[in-house]
Structure 1
Amino acid sequence: MDGILALMQSPEAWVALVTLIVMEVVLGIDNLIFISILTNKLPEQHRVPARRIGIGLALVMRLALLGTIAWIVKLTTPVFELFGQGFSWKDVILIAGGLFLVWKATKEIHHSVDPADHGEDFIGTAAVASFTAAIGQILLLDLVFSVDSIITAVGMTPHLPIMVAAVVVAVTVMLVAATPLANFIEKNPTIVMLALAFLLMIGMTLIAEGMGFHVPKGYVYAAMAFSALVEALNMLARNARRKKKADAQTLH
């Protein structure tokens, strides 16, 4: 208790907390996009519960991982070598998660481009209405992002209470933003394709990181922000044209 009170009185601790919260929220954008697209495939009455349960279990999993920080840090130690490149368990997790994300995004892009082909949906035709399948996939991707963000957090502060507080705040933000973001994506079909492109890029970034090629996160998120701005301008232009057309029809 005395340690927590000391942290609350430390300006450095507050700076570390704010920095970690911002980092966790930014990293959570990837999760939210995936969750939005995935849960929008479920029957409408299952979407909100799936988001809440999936994100809630993700919080439990992140807190559990924070409780095993000593083990998590060891994941960065190389365990085998391939073609002269050392690979750790963290690298393996990032590569596997990246391949999973690329595969999922590619399947959904194919389905969006050719909607007549219903041979296999984003999560499989037999599993479209599967509540458990959606939550399982949310947790699978969150595991990948959680390991990466927690290892980064350990490098930023040695204080576990700060990490726990940052994770709780960030996941709470995700919980609040999940449904509005999912509804916005569903109402704007062009946003879906842009979001899938983001997921594809994030998947390739995870694979590159696992292979030992560092990709500055700032570049990735700057590209995403620029693309989102361009799409926002396109949406405003489309709405203006529709309004102008409607006004013209009203006058006639």
Structure 2
Amino acid sequence: MDSLVTAFTDPTALAALIALVVMEVVLGIDNLVFISILTNKLPEAQRPKARRIGIGLALAMRLVLLSMIAWIVGLTAPVFDLGWRGPLDSHGAPTFETQFSWRDMILIAGGLFLIWKATKEIHHNVDPHGGDDVLDKKSAVTMSFGSAIVQIILLDMIFSLDSILTAVGMTDNLAVMYIAVIVAVTVMLIAADPLANFIARNPTVVMLALGFLLMIGAVLIADGFGVHVPKGYIYAAMAFSTLVEVLNIFARRAKMRKGDA
């Protein structure tokens, strides 16, 4: 209780809370985009339920991981070393890690899964003979409810680990971490249906979102190999691409209105 009061009364803890909430919300965008794309392949009646289950599981995983902070931090300890230091940078340090921890291996596996999933979805969209098209509103549903939940769980695990490790790196106040995670997941829950519906109404946004997933997958793999790409660069690129797509949507709608006039 004392730590909870401190989170709202101590200026340092409050600043850490605000920064962590913002960071957790931004990190949750990746999770939310994946859930939106995946659940849009389900029958319309099942989509809201699948989103709520997926986001609820994301919250549960984050809270469970927070209760196991010591174990989570231990995941960063090296498990094995390839013994090759590779090229060195200007400071004499290796340009990428050859020591791998459980965290590294989880991030690499998650990145590979994201790239595989995004590539598969892009293939379905660009190959006219590649099967059902997620952009075709009349196409048959290509995924069962159970399959969607399993895939959401797998990615929830990856994003939850990244989220909690970020929280640990920003503050040592457990109450601040809990509050930030709960607020971030609440924002995800509120934004889930509007985002998924927006993606469903604007088919070109699906390809943009799949491109984001490819980029995020590559960043996770790079992070697993010790190549840390500043997340600010990633989200700035995503924001710019989104702005361009929004302008394109407005332009298309203006053109349609002009044609109807």
Query: TM-score normalised to the size of structure 2?
Result: 0.89
Aligned amino acid, residue 124 of structure 2: H
Q: 1:110 aligns with which of 109, 113, 123?
A: 123
The whole-number CA distance in structure 1 between the counterparts of 2:51 and 2:7 is 33
Between Structure 1 and Structure 2, which shows a larger proportion of helix residues? 1
How do 1:215-226 and structure 2 match up within 5 A? 215-226=229-240
Pick from 88, 104, 109 the counterpart of residue 91 of structure 1: 104
Alignment of 1:190-229 (within 5 A): 190-229=204-243
Map Cα deviations across residues 133-152 of structure 1 (whole Å, 9 max, x no partner). Answer: 21121121111111112112
One-letter amino acid matched to 2:188: M
Check if 1:51 corresponds to 2:65. no
**Aligned partners of 1:237 and 1:4: how far apart in 2?**
48
Verify: 1:18 aligned to 2:42, yes or no: no
Change (3 A) 1:7 1:170: closer
Contact 1:16–1:157 under 8 Å retained in 2 = yes
- Tell me the SS of whatever aligns to 2:228: coil
Q: Where in structure 1 are there 5+ consecutive unaligned residues?
A: 248-252
Deviation at 1:118, TM superposition (A): 1.5
**Residue equivalent to 1:81:** 81
Identify unmatched segments of 5+ residues in structure 2.
Answer: 85-97, 135-139
In 1, the alpha carbon distance for the partners of 2:32 and 2:106 equals 20
1:158 aligned counterpart, secondary structure: coil
Residues 1:178 and 2:178 aligned together: no
2:252 is matched with 238
Q: How does 1:105-144 map to 2 (within 5 A)?
A: 105-118=118-131, 128-144=142-158
Q: Read off the aligned partner of 2:129 and give its amino acid letter.
A: A
Partner SS for 1:44: coil
Q: Aligned partners of 1:214, 1:14: CA distance in 2, in Å?
A: 27
Deviations 1:160-214 (A, max 9, x none): 1110110000000000100100000011011010000000010011011101111
User: What displacement does 1:120 show?
Assistant: 10
Count residues in correspondence: 244
Q: For the Cα contact (< 8 Å) 1:127–1:133, is it kept in 2?
A: no
Match of 1:128, SS?
A: coil
Residues 245 and 119 of structure 1: CA distance in aligned 2, closer, same or farther (over 3 Å): closer
Retained in 2: the 8 A contact 1:59–1:167?
yes
Q: 1:244 to 1:20 in 2, by over 3 A?
A: same
Partners of 2:3 and 2:173 within 8 A in 1? no
Moved more, 83-92 or 158-167: 83-92
Q: CA deviation at 1:10?
A: 0.5
Cα contact 2:55–2:189 (8 A) shared by 1 = yes
Match of 2:38 in 1: 38
Contact 1:54 1:135 in 2 (8 A): yes
Partner of 2:87: none
How far apart, in 1, do the equivalents of 2:208 and 2:3 lie? 46
3-state secondary structure, aligned to 2:152: helix
Percent identity between the two aligned chains: 67
Please tell me whether the aligned partners of residues 43 and 141 of structure 2 are also in contact (alpha carbons under 8 angstroms).
Answer: no
Change in 2 beyond 3 A, CA 1:43/1:119: closer
Instruction: State the 1:116 CA deviation.
Output: 3.3
Tell me, yes or no, if the aligned pair for 2:125 and 2:133 is still in contact at 8 Å: no
- Say if 2:114 and 2:213, in contact at 8 Å, map to a contact too: yes
- Spell out structure 1 runs of 4+ moving beyond 4 A: none
Tell me how far 1:128 sits from its aligned partner. 3.4
Query: After superposition, what is the alpha-carbon deviation per residue over 1:52-81, rounded to whole angstroms, capped at 9, x for unaligned?
Result: 011112111110000000000011111101
Q: How far is 1:94 from its partner? A: 0.4
Q: Give 1:2's aligned amino acid.
A: D
Query: Residue 9 of structure 1 aligns to which amino acid in structure 2?
Result: T
